[in-house]
Amino acid sequence: GAGVSQSPSNKVTEKGKDVELRCDPISGHTALYWYRQSLGQGLEFLIYFQGNSAPDKSGLPSDRFSAERTGGSVSTLTIQRTQQEDSAVYLCASSLWNVGLDGYTFGSGTRLTVV
Amino acid sequence: SQQGEEDPQALSIQEGENATMNCSYKTSINNLQWYRQNSGRGLVHLILIRSNEREKHSGRLRVTLDTSKKSSSLLITASRAADTASYFCATENTNAGKSTFGDGTTLTVKP
């Protein structure tokens, strides 16, 4: 596609439920990144993929968080048993290889609210 | 703590003035990137400077990098109200494979 697409754009969920966030990167971008941003804060790294493998999962806050990428394309970030502190904007970005020549291209994010 | 830290946290200027934002980091880097984020939107990449470069220009943007001081600056000349946004620096550390972002500088340009 022309840009990085994330869905849903907004998600309100009850505490304890599971949620899946989807990221569709730019076609041909081998690297895909997940970050989250709390209100008024910077970006917190979660995980990144090169192709389908995840060399660095160090940012995942707990074992309730997992992510996968299939076919070197779409990625899904899953949060199980959501807690109120999981509320944030989850941002996905892709690049040609690592940061490449042109930095990351970000999606518009998924705003997750846990009530 | 964040690898990149922006300074100041907030900056308010009049249209037409120049805006300078600074970023400091702690470890060796491959490159440093600057991004802009308008309220409620995703981040937009502005400029990338490699560790062997000292200065880069793009339109009204000028970025400098001083690896000896582990710092970078972003200068926006002749600012416009539309430049109002948050600006983030990000560093790709050597062998890291990912970039680490600072907390950003919020720039307000008054018309």
Asked whether residue B10 is domain-assigned, the answer is yes
Structural domain spans, chain A: 5-110
Q: Please tell me whether the peptide bond between A8 and the residue prior to it is cis, using omega within 30 degrees of 0.
A: yes
d(CA A59, CA A91): 14
Contact B92, B67 (CB under 8 A): no
What pLDDT, in 10s, does the model give residues B7-56? 899 999 999 999 999 999 998 999 999 999 998 778 999 999 999 999 99
Nearest CA to CA, how far is B102 from chain A (Å)? 6
Work out how many CB contacts closer than 8 A connect A with B. 61
**Neighboring chain B residues of A42 at a CB cutoff of 8 Å:** 2, 88, 101-104
Share the mean pLDDT of chain A. 92
Q: Which residue of B has its CA nearest to A98?
A: B97
**Neighboring chain A residues of B30 at a CB cutoff of 8 Å:** 99
DSSP secondary structure of A26-54: -TT--EEEEEEE-TT--EEEEEEEETTEE
**Neighboring chain B residues of A48 at a CB cutoff of 8 Å:** 97-98
CATH number at residue B42: 2.60.40.10
d(CA B92, CA B50): 10
Asked whether residue B20 is domain-assigned, the answer is yes
Residues B51-65, mean pLDDT to the nearest whole number: 96
Asked whether residue B110 is domain-assigned, the answer is no
Asked whether residue B96 is domain-assigned, the answer is no
Say whether B7 sits in a helix, a strand or coil. strand
**Neighboring chain A residues of B97 at a CB cutoff of 8 Å:** 48, 50, 55-56, 98
Contact B43, B88 (CB under 8 A): yes
pLDDT, position A1: 53
Number of domain units in chain B: 1
Contact B55, B62 (CB under 8 A): yes
**The two three-digit tokens of residue A7, written as one number:** 């869905």
Q: Do B103 and A33 touch (CB under 8 A)?
A: no
List the single best residue of A7, A33, A39, A43 to mutate versus B (max B Cβ within 10 A).
A43
Give Cα A3 to chain centroid, integer Å.
15
pLDDT, position B1: 39
What pLDDT, in 10s, does the model give residues A89-108? 999 999 987 666 678 999 99
DSSP secondary structure of B83-103: G-EEEEEEEEETTT-SEEE--
What pLDDT, in 10s, does the model give residues A34-66? 999 998 788 999 999 999 999 888 899 999 999
Asked whether residue B67 is domain-assigned, the answer is yes
Cross-chain CB nearest to B92 (options A43, A99, A109): A99
Give Cα B94 to chain centroid, integer Å.
19
Asked whether residue B14 is domain-assigned, the answer is yes
Interstrand relation of B105-110 and B10-14 (parallel, antiparallel or unpaired): parallel
Nearest by Cα to B75 from B13, B29, B25: B13
Q: A20 vs A8, A17, A42, A81, A114, CA distance in Å?
A: 9, 10, 23, 11, 13
Asked whether residue B108 is domain-assigned, the answer is no
Q: Judge: domain A5-110, CATH 2.60.40.10.
A: yes
Range of the domain at B45: 1-79
Out of A26-30, A73-77, B10-14, B76-80, which region has the weakest mean confidence (pLDDT)? A26-30
Residues A73-102, mean pLDDT to the nearest whole number: 90
